[in-house]
A and B are shown apart, each in its own frame.
Chain A
Amino acid sequence: MKVYVKLLGDLREALGKERLEIELQSHSELKWLIEDRLLGYEGLRDHLIDPRTNRMRTDLIILINDRSVEGSTESERVRDGDIITLAPAIAGG
Chain B
Amino acid sequence: MPGGYKDRIIRVDLTKPRVSIELPKEEHKRKFLGGSGLAAKILYDELDPKTDPLSPENKLVFMTGPLTGTLAPGFGRFVIASKSPLTGIWGEAGSAGYWGPELKFAGYDGMILEGRAEEPCYLWINDEDVELKDAKHLWGKDTVETEAIVRSELRESKSRILIIGQAGERLAKIACIVTDGGVAGRCGLGTVMGSKNLKAIAVRGSGRVEVEDEARFHDLVGEIHSIMNNDPRTKSLKSYGSAGSMEGNEAVGDVPIKNWMVGSWPDGARKLSGQQMARTILKRPVTCFACPIACKREVEIKSGPYAGVKGKGPEYETMASFGTMLLIDDIEVVAKANDLCTRYGIDTISCGSAIAFTYECYEKGLLTKEDVRGLDLSWGNHDSLLRMIEMIGQREGIGSVLGDGVKTASEKIGKDASEFAMHVKGLEMPMHDPRAYRSLALGYATSNRGACYLQATSHWVERGMLFPELGIKERPDRFTSEGKARMVIDMQNFMAIVDSLIICKFALSCGYTLTHLLGLVEYVTGYSISIDEFKMMGERIFNLKRLFNNRLGVSRKDDRLPERINKPSPEEGTKHSSPDLGLMLSEYYRLRAWDEEGRPKADKIGELEL
B242 touches A9 (CB 8 A): no
- Distance (whole angstroms) from the CB of B101 to the closest CB of chain A: 21
Q: Is the interface of B mostly helix, strand, loop or mixed?
A: helix
B239 to A89, Cβ gap below 8 A? no
Q: Mark B129-141, 1 if CB is under 8 A from A, else 0.
A: 0000000000000
List residues of B (224-238) whose CB comes within 8 Å of A's CBs: 227, 230-233, 235-237
With contacts A8-B251, A46-B232, A46-B235 taken as known, whether A90 is within 8 angstroms of B572 at the C-beta atoms is: no
Most chain A CB inside 10 Å of its own CB: which residue of B240, B315, B477, B479: B240
Contacts of B237 in A (CB 8 A): 91-92
Out of B251, B315, B573, B575, name the residue touching A93 (CB < 8 Å). Answer: B315
Q: Of the candidates A10, A46, A63, A66, which one forms a contact with B244 in the assembled complex, judged by CB atoms under 8 Å apart?
A: A10
- Supposing A66-B572, A87-B251, A92-B316 touch, asked if A9 and B240 sit within 8 A by C-beta, the answer is yes
Q: Mark B195-230, 1 if CB is under 8 A from A, else 0.
A: 000000000000000000000000000000001001
- Say yes or no: is B466 at the interface (Cβ < 8 Å to chain A): yes
Taken together as a complex, chains A and B put the C-alpha atoms of A61 and B575 apart, in Å, by 15
By a CB distance below 8 angstroms, the chain A residues around B460 are 90
- With A10-B275, A90-B463 already in contact, the answer to whether A47 and B232 are too (CB < 8 A) is yes
User: A61 and B240: CB pair below 8 A?
Assistant: no
Smallest CB gap from A47: residue in B: B232
Measured in the bound complex, the distance between the Cα atoms of B230 and A66 in whole Å is 31
Q: How far is the CB of B456 from chain A (nearest CB, A)?
A: 14
- In the complex, chain B residues 485-512 whose Cβ is within 8 Å of any chain A Cβ: 506, 509-510
Interface centre among A66, A88, A90 (most CB of B within 10 A): A90
Alpha-carbon separation in the docked complex, A12 to B248 (Å): 11
Report the separation of the CA atoms of residues A89 and B506 in the bound assembly, to the nearest whole angstrom.
Answer: 13
A92/B245 contact (C-beta < 8 A), A10-B240, A67-B572, A71-B477 known? yes
Query: Closest B-chain residue to A10, C-beta based?
Result: B236
Which residues of B in the span 263-278 have a Cβ within 8 Å of any Cβ on A? 273-275, 278
B384 → chain A closest CB, angstroms: 26
Question: From residue B571, how far is it (CB to closest CB) to chain A in Å?
Answer: 8
**A9 touching B246, Cβ below 8 Å:** yes
A9–B317 alpha-carbon span in the complex (Å): 17
Interface residue? A13 (CB, 8 A): yes
> Quick one: which of A7-61 are within 8 Å of B by CB?
8-10, 12-13, 46-47, 51-52, 57-61
Query: Is A90 a contact of B248 with CB atoms below 8 Å?
Result: yes
Whether B464 lies near A88 (C-beta < 8 A) is no
B247 located at the interface, meaning its Cβ lies under 8 Å from any Cβ of chain A in the complex: yes
Question: How many angstroms between the C-alpha atoms of A68 and B428 in the bound complex?
Answer: 28
Interface contact A91-B236, CB-CB below 8 Å? yes
A25 to B59, CA, bound (A): 68
Q: List 14 A-B contacts (CB under 8 A).
A: A9-B246, A10-B236, A46-B232, A58-B465, A59-B463, A59-B465, A68-B573, A68-B575, A71-B476, A90-B459, A90-B460, A92-B245, A92-B506, A92-B509
Supplied contacts A58-B466, A89-B465, 17 more A-B pairs, CB within 8 Å: A8-B247, A9-B236, A9-B245, A10-B239, A10-B275, A59-B465, A70-B478, A71-B476, A89-B232, A90-B233, A90-B245, A90-B248, A90-B509, A91-B242, A91-B509, A91-B510, A92-B315
A residues with CB within 8 A of B: 8-10, 12-13, 46-47, 51-52, 57-61, 63, 66-68, 70-71, 85, 87-93
